[in-house]
Amino acid sequence: MIRLDGVHKSFAARQVLRGVDLDVAQGSSMVIIGGSGTGKSVLLKCILGLVEPDAGRITVDGRDVHDGDHDAFLARFGMLFQGAALFDSLPVWQNVAFRLLRGRLKRPKADARAIAIDKLRRVGLSADVADAFPAELSGGMQKRVGLARAIAADPAIIFFDEPTTGLDPIMAGVINDLIREIVTEMGATAITITHDMTSVRAIADSVAMLHEGTIKWTGPIDRMDAAPDPCLQQFIHGRASGPIAALR
Amino acid sequence: MRAALPLALIGRAVLRGLGSAGRVAIFAGSALAHILRPPLYPREFAIALLNIGWLSLPVVGLTAIFTGAALALQIYSGGARFSAEAVVPQIVAIGMVRELGPVLVGLMIAARVTSSIAAEIATMKVTEQIDALVTLSTRPMSYLVAPRVLAGLLTVPLLVACGDVIGILGGYLVATKSLGFNAAAYLVNTLDFLEPLDIVSSLVKGAAFGGIAALMGCYFGMHSGRGAQGVGRATKASVEAAAVLILAANFVLTGVFFSL
């Protein structure tokens, strides 16, 4: 289980997180929604230890994320970044197998390549793209390579940061389906951040809404539409008027 | 209150400067520590050796040959004012090896390598590739910084040695082809005049300048701001800092070797 207790984070005078409390059950798919600039990405980076919270505690399976060997801790995670964040200088298969070519998960190059090609197939890409460089791929293909990299080492926890941003609706649907299938198949705990409501409905077991630095509402996806929270209702229906200011 | 304003501005600037110097020193210490402790990334190191060393050779060679040639002409015409034209081989040799070789190679490396390292790492930062490295259990200091700094420390002295030789060759060509010097006498004068300490100082300066050039590229790349403007600013600042630090280090090292 991932647990956040009273997590605060500020950048200079700007308070981004103002006491976030959130539990994500093991093996479940939590989607965090919220407007642009509300601190969703910062929240993920706090869990990963990329950003240190000013106050509060974050634990994964009872262990504080800042205790012990951080590399070993991160070995349990996979992450799909918003822009895929593929390494330009490496061919696709080496991007996917990055973790398998070095460090504690290192294995022979031929094995790592075979696993990379298998993961590429899993996300609907043929072995032909294995030797291409990221710049030669379309945005949708890059996202899929990023997804293959996130699952390459069969992580127990996977984070998806805006997985469908910048994709056409069909490709967004493909990515949503892939995420749902992979999370179910691997039994992984997943946290996705997005403001795409189609993604929310396709991916989520439960939803949390982040607004003004705190979790405004959280609950199972099937209770989201009937929830009385006016911020949540404004957000999921995309209304310009309501408690959330359109201009932030 | 108004009278204190200039002092406050100076104070703030000094504090900012000291803060920056402290951050660079901590970064340099961390980079050197990561060179010495595993994991080491041989592939990244080999790529850095190629980029910083081998691929810089043409620009270093061209800079050195023209500088050596121009130096020979300057010394000849300047020396003629007090009938000292014959010192061209000695002054070209000592000028290239002690001063111009290391400084010009250092500045060319700052222009070519520091800018390229800063732009590459800054782009990786703004496209979240550095965050991705961390999530893949890879430390950016070990993977990106240590191989580049080690390659700078090892290859720039070799580039300086090549630059020294090519610069002397430039002087030799001008002196023997257009100033009427005897080829054999020129070479004998050059070799007889140079001392081992001249060559050691040249190589030590090369190592220091290579380390500075690579460190500044990495530091400003890793601390880049957001977007294309952030990458541009990081690149510009890295070259400015590397050039100034190379010239300052040259002064300090020259003073140290001069006192030996």
Could you report the per-residue pLDDT of B115-133, keeping only the tens digit for each?
A: 999 999 999 999 999 999 9
Using a CB-CB distance cutoff of 8 angstroms, which residues of chain B are in contact with residue A51?
A: none
Is the per-residue pLDDT at B24 higher than 60?
yes
CB interface of A with B, residues 203-242, below 8 Å: none
pLDDT of residue A246: 63
- Distances in Å between the Cα of A144 and the Cα atoms of A139, A177, A215 are 9, 12, 30
Look at residues A46, A50, A3 and name the one whose alpha carbon lies nearest to residue A189. Answer: A3
Q: Provide the residue ranges of all domains of chain A, joining segments of one domain with +.
A: 1-76+189-243
Tell me the residue type at B257: F
In eight-state DSSP terms, residue A186 is H
In this structure, what are the phi and psi dihedrals at residue A24, rounded to the nearest 5 degrees? -120, 115
Contact A48 B136 (CB under 8 A): no
Contact A88 B129 (CB under 8 A): yes
Q: Is the minimum CB–CB distance between A155 and chain B shorter than 8 Å?
A: no
Q: Is the minimum CB–CB distance between A104 and chain B shorter than 8 Å?
A: yes
pLDDT of residue B34: 94
Q: In what order do the strands lie in the sheet with A206-211?
A: A77-80, A157-161, A189-193, A29-33, A206-211, A214-220
Contact B135 A83 (CB under 8 A): no
Rg of chain B over Cα atoms, rounded to whole angstroms, equals 21
Of A242-246, B19-23, B238-242, the least confident: A242-246
- Distances in Å between the Cα of B232 and the Cα atoms of A31, B107, B121, B239, B240 are 36, 19, 12, 11, 12
Region A75-104 average pLDDT: 91
Contact A206, A220 (CB under 8 A): yes
Share the mean pLDDT of chain B: 94
Token code pair at residue A79:
């992450």
Contact A44, A161 (CB under 8 A): yes
* pLDDT tens by residue, B66-95: 999 999 999 999 988 888 889 999 999 999
Pairing of strands A55-60, A206-211: unpaired
Q: Is the ipTM of this complex over 0.95?
A: no
Q: Is the minimum CB–CB distance between A86 and chain B shorter than 8 Å?
A: yes
Q: Nearest chain B Cα to A80, which residue?
A: B132
pLDDT of residue B85: 85
Contact B157, B201 (CB under 8 A): no
Which of B39, B128, B138 is opposite residue A85, by nearest beta carbon?
B128
Contact B134 A99 (CB under 8 A): no
Look at residues B35, B74, B59 and name the one whose alpha carbon lies nearest to residue B174. Answer: B74
Q: pLDDT class for A36, splitting at 50, 70, 90?
A: confident
Contact B128 A103 (CB under 8 A): no
Contact B137 A103 (CB under 8 A): yes
Element housing A210 (H / E): strand A206-211
Using a CB-CB distance cutoff of 8 angstroms, which residues of chain A are in contact with residue B47?
A: 89
Contact A102 B131 (CB under 8 A): no
**Distance (Å) from the alpha carbon of A248 to chain B's nearest alpha carbon:** 20
* pLDDT tens by residue, B159-198: 999 999 999 999 999 999 999 999 999 999 999 999 999 9
Contact B131 A81 (CB under 8 A): yes
Q: Is the minimum CB–CB distance between A165 and chain B shorter than 8 Å?
A: no
Q: pLDDT class for A105, splitting at 50, 70, 90?
A: confident
Domain spanning A1-76+189-243 has what CATH number? 3.40.50.300
Contact B128 A77 (CB under 8 A): no
Region B135-150 average pLDDT: 94
Q: Is the minimum CB–CB distance between A67 and chain B shorter than 8 Å?
A: no
